[in-house]
Chains A and B, each alone.
Chain A
Amino acid sequence: MASQAIIFRETKGSKGFFTLLAVLGVFLVLGAIAFFYAEHHGHHVTGMNNQTVWGLPHVFAIFLIVAASGALNVGSIGTVFSKKLYQPMGRLSALVAISLLIGGLIVLVLDLGHPDRLIIAMTHYNFKSIFAWNIILYNGFLALCGMYIWTMMDRKVKGFYKLAGFSAFTWRLILTTGTGSIFGFLVSRDFYNSAVMAPLFIVMSFAFGLAIFILVLHFAYKWTERELGEVVMNRLRNLLAVFICGVLLLELARHLTGLYIAQRLGVETFILRDGGIYTQLFWVGQILLGSLLPLGLIFCRKLANNRTALLLAAAFTILGGFAQLYVILIGGQAYPLTLFPGAEVSSGYFDGAINSYAPSIWELMLGVGGVALALVMVTIGVKVLRFLPDSLSDAMVDPLK
């Protein structure tokens, strides 16, 4: 563990705490309304259909799930790689990870055609299904993060700190491999079936999870009037840049491979050039605003030590992440299945046509509800347990460098 000088303390039950909960509560209620509405009427009230079967809720769910494993990284760097500077943030890192995962899973589950059959998903496993494996991986991740937090909070089990940290870190790598493989294993869709989806999702998780962690850390300290120095933030700032570059590298490899293989040229041309909203989301949302802008904000010399620039970089990374997942999920489904390579197909059921999808307000409400749930869990978590160090000022963390 970190230096003894680090003191962890619960946040106070201030007016701000309850205001935050009230605001998040509104989004939770809206999410619940959306769920009950779609559950009662059926999915015809959503924008999803039999061509675009996964919609906006899945973008939110997968973003949160991917970000969850990434949020744990801050803790893992401290525990697994023994970087002392990161160790005081380990507890918060694991809390954010658990919260994001539950927020994502709730969206995923509530969007099922039969959320009432969750018990079936928990009791009937088809072990050839990566989805079934993911159910086990999610539950295991929650349990391991819980134990990791326990070893950080309870001196009696401090001896298991390294073991728990290693286990959680290994598990999270496998978990994100599993999430990426949900797409990687889809043999029939040219935009998905590739082993690169697993490492791509891992590096995406690094970036999204860290971006969220940076924002949570900053606002948790600001709103509780604790000190958060630039030493910590600059370390996270550089790390974020590395992760964004990692995502760009794997995306470059993925798209170049797609362009090289004639079979995939169609879908690549669609996404990169002819796809309308998907092309715009890719170039403007993911690449320009979601990657290059944050890198600019991080590396611009005039913005060194500028907290606002870092927060904006993190926020734009999150925005880019949503754009990226929207392009992967919805864009990948918008491009029609290839029934007969080398031929044009048409039918009364959208064969050969670009599939349309317009998200409904209900899907948006459900997705935002998941985000709100994750934030509520973090807010209450830091209030009731000692997750946050009293101070992460430069003076406090300097000896840990």
Chain B
Amino acid sequence: MSQNRVDEYRRKFVMALGGTAAAVTVAQGFILREANAAGEVSSRPLDKAVTSDKRWGMLIDVTKLTDGGAGMVEACKKEHGWGNEADSDEAQKTHWARVVKVTDKLTKNSFSLPVMCQHCEQPPCVDVCPTGASMKRADGIVQVNKHLCIGCRYCMMACPYKARSFVHEALHDQKPYSPRGMGTVEACNMCIHRIDNGQLPACVEAAPDAVIFGDLNDPNSTLSKTLKDIGGKQIRADLNLNTGVRYHGI
């Protein structure tokens, strides 16, 4: 996908956010920022270390997701090839992302949202991992070092979002850019291979009208500005994990 297309999707998302009257003002503001937004997923030279200058994150507007995020989940599945384990039962199959339907017990108000690794600033999975396999990259992406993972599953016990899966069987025909392995734990890594290559994560591409991806550290990024304007809630904000994945409309 070309960057122009990404920008176009972002524009559409922002446009859709505002009301009829407000849209003109807001959209103008965001269109002006497109120049900054375009650089947000610029590719990183492989010989250059990742720094904490950036913190990748995303805002998912649940009200704009007509399918509750099923398209995003499918895109993730296709990108990384998870969930097709032949020998594992339904509870054993891997799930990097899923659509969760939420209904308030009192009001019966209901919505659906995609839930995946929330890329916490204070990730419990990283805290508990005995070997340091569960790690947070300097740019905020939480992932598993498959070479250090001993498969103890303590991170799965610790994750409040059930975002992690354990591979219960031998795998074949893996994606070369997304290595996986029996006996290790895995989860959404924000499509780290795409980000380093200057592309958006697969799920973001799949729902361009509903998701903004970008740098949370940059106050001028589209993401930061939109978050400032319309807010972005965390799942289990009470745990004070400061998640990198935020939601609007939950």
Contacts and interface: CB of A to CB of B under 8 A. Distances in A.
Interface in A320-353: 333, 337-351
Contact of B150 (A49, A50, A117, A333): A117
A50 B169 CA distance: 12
A351 B100 contact: yes
B173 interface: no
Contacts of A51: 91, 162
A-B CB proximity, top 10 nearest: A113-B151, A113-B183, A188-B160, A49-B91, A131-B130, A44-B168, A42-B169, A132-B130, A53-B153, A126-B132
Interface of B: 85, 87-89, 91-95, 98-106, 115, 124, 126-133, 148-154, 156-162, 164-170, 182-185, 235-236, 238-239, 250
A347 B98 contact: yes
B131 to A, nearest CB: 4
Given A44-B85, A344-B103, A339 B166 contact: no
A44 B132 contact: no
Contacts of B159: 188
A339 B235 contact: yes
Contacts of B169: 41-44
B148 to A, nearest CB: 6
Contact of A187 (B85, B150, B160, B235): B160
Contacts of B239: 187-188
A341 B236 CA distance: 8
B183 A114 contact: yes
A188 B165 CA distance: 16
A112 B236 CA distance: 29
29 contacts: A41-B87, A42-B182, A44-B85, A44-B168, A50-B162, A52-B91, A113-B185, A114-B184, A117-B149, A117-B151, A120-B150, A129-B127, A185-B128, A187-B239, A188-B124, A337-B160, A339-B100, A339-B115, A340-B250, A341-B238, A343-B105, A346-B103, A347-B100, A347-B101, A348-B99, A349-B162, A350-B91, A351-B115, A355-B91
A400 interface: no
B104 A349 contact: no
A125 interface: yes
Interface residues on chain A, size class: 35 or more
B156 to A, nearest CB: 4
A49 B168 contact: yes
B91 A120 contact: no
A351 B184 CA distance: 22
Mostly, the B contact residues are loop
Given A42-B183, A51-B162, A128 B127 contact: yes
Given A339-B100, A342-B104, A343-B102, A112 B166 contact: no
A349 B95 contact: yes
A20 interface: no
Contact of B128 (A118, A124, A131, A355): A131
Given A52-B91, A129-B127, A344-B103, 9 more contacts: A48-B92, A49-B168, A50-B93, A50-B168, A112-B151, A114-B149, A125-B131, A339-B160, A351-B162
A333 to B, nearest CB: 8
B131 A42 contact: no
Contact of A44 (B88, B126, B133, B250): B88
B85 A121 contact: no
B76 to A, nearest CB: 13
Interface string A23-58: 000000000000000000111100011111110000
Nearest to B94: A50
Contact of A113 (B101, B184, B236): B184
Contacts of B106: 342
B161 A345 contact: no
A115 B151 CA distance: 8
B183 A112 contact: yes
A236 B238 CA distance: 47
Contacts of B88: 44, 49
Contacts of B130: 121, 125-126, 129, 131-132, 134-135
A130 interface: yes
Nearest to A350: B91
Looking at A124, A126, A130, the one whose CB has the most chain B CB atoms below 10 A away is: A126
A341 B234 CA distance: 13
A186 B157 contact: yes
A126 B92 CA distance: 28
Nearest to B239: A187
Given A44-B87, A339-B161, A348-B98, A113 B150 contact: yes
Given A129-B129, A135-B130, A42 B105 contact: no
Interface string A124-156: 111011111011000000000000000000000
B180 to A, nearest CB: 12
A393 interface: no
A305 interface: no
A96 to B, nearest CB: 26
Given A128-B127, A188-B239, A42 B132 contact: no
A117 B151 CA distance: 9
B148 A120 contact: yes
A189 interface: yes
Contacts of B164: 50
B230 to A, nearest CB: 20
Contacts of A349: 95, 98, 162
A112 B182 CA distance: 11
Contacts of A187: 124, 158, 160, 239
A37 to B, nearest CB: 13
A224 interface: no
Contact of A124 (B98, B132, B162): B132
Interface string A94-130: 0000000000000000001111011011001110111
A187 B104 CA distance: 23
Given A44-B89, A351-B100, A113 B157 contact: no
